Amino acid sequence: MVFYAWFWISLRNIFTIQPAKSAQNTYFRSPENQPFYQFFLLKRITATQLFQLEPDRVLLDVRTPAEYAQGHVPGALNLPLFSDEERAEVGTLYKQVSPERAFLRGLDIAGAKMSWYVREAMRLAPGKKIAIHCWRGGQRSGSLATLLSFAGFDVEVLQGGYKAYRHHVLEHFSLRKSKFVVLGGKTGSGKTEILKQLAALGEQVIDLEKLANHKGSAFGALGEEPQPRVEQFENNLFAELEKMDHQRRIWVENESRSIGRVAIPAGFFEQFKAAPIVLLEVSFDERIRHLVEGYATFPKEELIESLVKITKRMGGNNVKEALEAFEDGKVEAATAVALNYYDKTYSHSTGQGNFSETIPLEVQKLDALDIASQLIILANEHGI
């Protein structure tokens, strides 16, 4: 890494190197010579240890903003060694001109920003306790770790970088076994509200739709923040799983593999599709009432736009019927047309699971707290 080489040379010019007094002596006895060797003495942590950081230690991601936006460790802050444009410029020089020109341009960029790196790190981590990583735990993190250590920071470096973290995340979706209990029920059964009440009653809950910023249907993006990228969704899901006691049951809503534009990781998906499922049995009319109540606050134009998106799947005649009902102010009738379509798709989706046990729960009225209380009793009775 060009900045690392530059910083290394700078320190070599500043300090006089002395040999160690003994093989057992890790640090050189001359205090002013210690910073030069600090990179070799920095504490390295593994991806597993990353989840055991002290609360006051700030995780810094030194990759470019574009890399960070693609996916990052939840809670990590971005301290980019190069901006997106700077990295592209150096990379272009390397490929089209020569490595030497790229090296020199990298020195120009990084050298001019040396004080900024330190000031920005102080802003992000006022306590000066940090863990740091780049893509592979190599030269980018090594260079800034050395600089910030020299500036008085307590520094730990993630061995293998973000790549090692991602390997750990994806591997553990399959390897770690969890006691999932799936909450099922057709569209409009109030599952999201019930999950919230389960959590309020002390149950462990993974809310996949909340993590995805999407309710899972053609109307799922209404009222939601933009969806995370798939990689970030996986990272956020793993962070939630890290909080769980995997000896206790974990409630999760029955979902298809895709939630909007994100996909549930295969290992996680396979596990919960083989878990016991509690199926809420709610009348068609009660579900219409719940949906109309829940979506009444959204502009009619946005509802119509969402409906038009599924014309091909729902059928032109059905969409036309629903749209005409909307235009006539017959919201319940329009909802009924859409709900008939979603009932068919939900039956197909549920049939794809290999659930270990199916437990029905008949619901007369959608009272989320009351249903959550019933679910806990039912789960205890079935030993799940």
- What are the beta bridge partners of residue 156? 43, 131
Among 110, 134, 307, 322, the active-site one is 134
- Between β-strands 258-259 and 262-263, what pairing exists: parallel, antiparallel or unpaired? antiparallel
Give the burial string for 309-336 (b: 16+ CB within 10 Å, else e): ebeeebeeebbebbbebbeeeebeebbb
* Cβ atoms of residues 63 and 1 within 8 Å: no
**Other C-beta atoms within 10 Å of 69: how many?**
15
Distance CA 143, CA 120 (A): 15
Q: How far apart are the first and last CA of the chain?
A: 53
Rg (CA), the chain: 27
**Other C-beta atoms within 10 Å of 121: how many?**
24
Q: Which amino acid is at 202?
A: G
Question: Long-range CB contacts (< 8 A, 24+ apart) of 208-211?
Answer: 208/237, 208/252, 208/253, 208/255, 208/259, 208/264, 209/253, 209/255, 209/259, 211/236, 211/237, 211/240
Q: Is 198 left (phi over 0), alpha (psi -120 to 50) or beta?
A: alpha
Which tokens is 271 given?
A: 């596990």
* Cβ atoms of residues 182 and 354 within 8 Å: no
Residues across the chain? 384
134 as an active site residue: the answer is yes
Q: What is the maximal distance between C-alpha atoms in the chain?
A: 90
Sign of CA dihedral 264, 209, 66, 120: negative
Sign of CA dihedral 252, 257, 263, 269: positive
Catalytically active residues, by annotation: 134
